[in-house]
């Protein structure tokens, strides 16, 4: 789990996660959002893949990245537990 927290500690990687929450994107599409070199982006992708937060699939010469939601959920639950935060449940229609 420490790999996950290390990956999430960087603002660029958190932005990549936010972008992938919207939809799967190619490495080039993601890189277009940042003023950094391709090798720098590649390092960010590697850190996120090593933490199993994202997955890449090759389509021809393009790599399409997607978010691994279950690992992200586990990390968030772990943080909630560490800080003893209980998520509020959404009220049902009968309760609202």
Give the per-residue pLDDT at 87: 62
Residue 66 has pLDDT above 70, yes or no: yes
pTM (two decimals): 0.77
Residue 60 has pLDDT above 60, yes or no: yes
CB atoms inside a 10 Å sphere around CB 41? 19
Interval 29-59: pLDDT, tens? 999 999 999 999 999 999 999 999 999 999 9
Question: What would the CATH number be for the domain defined by 2-82?
Answer: 1.10.10.10
Residue whose C-alpha is closest to residue 40's, from 83, 4, 70, 10? 10
Mean pLDDT of 22-32: 96
């Amino acid at each position: 789990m420490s790999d996950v927290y290390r990956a999430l500690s960087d603002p660029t990687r958190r932005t990549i996660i936010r972008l992938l929450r919207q939809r799967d994107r190619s490495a080039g599409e993601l890189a277009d959002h940042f003023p950094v070199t391709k090798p720098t982006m590649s390092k960010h992708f590697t850190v996120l893949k090593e933490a199993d937060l994202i997955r890449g699939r090759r389509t021809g010469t393009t790599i399409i990245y997607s978010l691994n939601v279950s690992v992200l959920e586990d990390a968030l639950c772990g943080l909630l537990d560490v800080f003893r935060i209980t998520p509020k449940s959404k009220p049902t229609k009968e309760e609202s």
